């Protein structure tokens, strides 16, 4: 299953609005016979890819898959039938499929005499598939706020200079984050201040560029801004498009996320400045934080986050749970998720 989870991650960035799924088929003796993962929406499901790789060796074997096999005919046929046709004796899945139409494959397989077990490495598999699972539950994409700051939590110097706080390695890592996201979101303030390209510049280049989204209440994105250069698709959302935010400030963030969801976006990388990030935090719309911390001290300059509603007293602090801590070049990357009831 650990290998299936790894395989599923290969689909990040290219499967939305579908899930990422990985599958390993073992032969009757327990040896790996085939591997597969879901590559793109509408393409073969992971189970079908792995069964094709395994061929006749699947008979009497085990399919290990990160998501409960589907039982529906959608853009492709039901994986339950493909598994039965291949003569698989046992199916082990990590996470149940919450989709009311596709879900329930485990029961179908069990009724057909297959030995079925669920829940293996469920947490790990769910984390890789977090965006899709979150979107099924909420109707909104999963929002990851990316922040770069010094050890004392400053994202720019007092004179406004902010290039570069973190290392080349950390910046390369951000491009990898972008390549796995369906959309990259900034506010118009960032466009006006930094004129970012917001493309994923990885080596090799990503299979597709994320949608660039500018939240721009009053339509101030310049015609010559880099986000309009055609290097990737771009969406400018104004208050006329999605409604205004609380107190008439900015755009309605939940509505903007709803619009993105309707366009098939399941994961959003929020790269805006402290004000936009603060508005997302205040609206409880940040689902992951990826913080790159540089071993530097500034002592002055803007804080990485500017909230209006959160944290005026220690009891109001938003508490998160650390999911991962990794060294990236000379910097540290911390991934955390909010603790919600």
Q: Should residue 79 be labelled a site residue for Zn ion when binding is judged by CB under 5 A?
A: yes
Q: Should residue 70 be labelled a site residue for Zn ion when binding is judged by CB under 5 A?
A: yes
Site map for ligand AOF, 78-107, x if CB under 6 A?
A: -x-----------------x-x--x-----
Residue nearest to ligand AOF (CB): 74
* Partner from Zn ion, ligand AOF, none contacting 174, C-beta within 5 to 8 A by type: none
Of 311, 266, 326, 14, the C-alpha closest to 144 is: 266
Please check whether residue 167 is in contact with residue 294, taking contact to mean a CB–CB distance below 8 angstroms.
yes
Site map for ligand AOF, 7-36, x if CB under 6 A?
A: -----------xx-x---------------
Q: Should residue 45 be labelled a site residue for Zn ion when binding is judged by CB under 5 A?
A: yes
Of 177, 149, 162, 155, the C-alpha closest to 331 is: 149
* Partner from ligand AOF, Zn ion, none contacting 137, C-beta within 5 to 8 A by type: none
Give me 26's structure tokens.
């073992």
Please name every residue paired with 145 in a beta bridge, in sequence order, or none if there are none. 270, 289
* CB 102 to ligand AOF: min, Å: 3
| HEC letters along 57-125 | HHCCCEEEEEECCCCCCCCCCCHHHHHHHCCCCEEEEEECCCCCCCCCHHHHHHHCCCEEEECCCHHHH
Active site residue 47: yes
Please check whether residue 2 is in contact with residue 124, taking contact to mean a CB–CB distance below 8 angstroms.
yes
Give me 119's structure tokens.
């829940």
Of residues 143-182, those binding Zn ion (CB under 5 A):
none
Q: Should residue 71 be labelled a site residue for Zn ion when binding is judged by CB under 5 A?
A: no
User: Which of the stretches 42-50, 218-226, 283-291, 298-306 binds Zn ion when contact is defined by CB under 5 A?
Assistant: 42-50
Catalytic-labelled residue, pool 47, 49, 68, 124: 47
Point out which residues bind ligand AOF (CB under 6 A). 18-19, 21, 38, 41, 45-47, 67, 70, 74-76, 79, 97, 99, 102
């Amino acid at each position: 299953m650990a290998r299936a989870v790894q395989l599923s991650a290969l689909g990040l960035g290219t499967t939305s609005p579908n899930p990422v799924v990985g599958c390993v088929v073992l032969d009757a003796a327990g040896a790996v016979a085939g591997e597969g993962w879901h590559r793109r929406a509408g393409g073969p499901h992971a189970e079908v890819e792995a069964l094709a790789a395994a061929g006749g060796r699947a008979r009497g074997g085990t399919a290990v898959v990160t998501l409960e096999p589907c039982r529906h005919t959608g853009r492709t046929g039901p994986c339950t039938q493909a598994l039965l046709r291949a003569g698989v004796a046992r199916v082990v899945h990590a996470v149940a499929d919450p989709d009311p139409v596709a879900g329930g494959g485990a029961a179908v397989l069990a009724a057909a005499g297959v030995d079925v077990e669920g829940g293996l490495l469920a947490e790990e598999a769910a984390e890789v598939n977090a965006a899709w699972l979150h979107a099924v539950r909420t109707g909104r994409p999963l929002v990851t706020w990316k922040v770069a700051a010094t050890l004392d939590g400053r994202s720019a110097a007092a004179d406004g200079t902010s290039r570069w706080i973190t290392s080349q390695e950390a910046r390369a890592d951000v491009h990898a984050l972008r390549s796995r996201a369906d959309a990259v979101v900034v506010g118009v303030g960032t466009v006006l201040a930094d004129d970012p390209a917001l493309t994923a510049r990885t080596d090799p280049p990503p299979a597709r560029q994320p949608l660039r989204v500018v939240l721009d209440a009053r339509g101030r994105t310049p015609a010559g801004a880099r986000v309009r250069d055609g290097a990737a698709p771009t969406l400018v959302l104004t208050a006329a498009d999605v409604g205004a935010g609380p107190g008439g400030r900015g755009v309605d963030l939940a509505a903007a996320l709803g619009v993105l969801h309707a366009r098939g976006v399941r994961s959003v990388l929020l790269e805006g400045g402290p004000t936009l990030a603060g508005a997302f935090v205040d609206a409880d719309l940040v689902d992951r934080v990826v913080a790159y911390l540089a071993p530097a001290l500034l002592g002055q300059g803007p804080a990485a986050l500017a909230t209006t509603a959160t944290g005026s007293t220690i009891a109001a602090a938003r508490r998160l749970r650390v999911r991962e801590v990794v060294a990236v070049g000379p910097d540290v990357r911390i991934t955390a998720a909010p603790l919600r009831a």
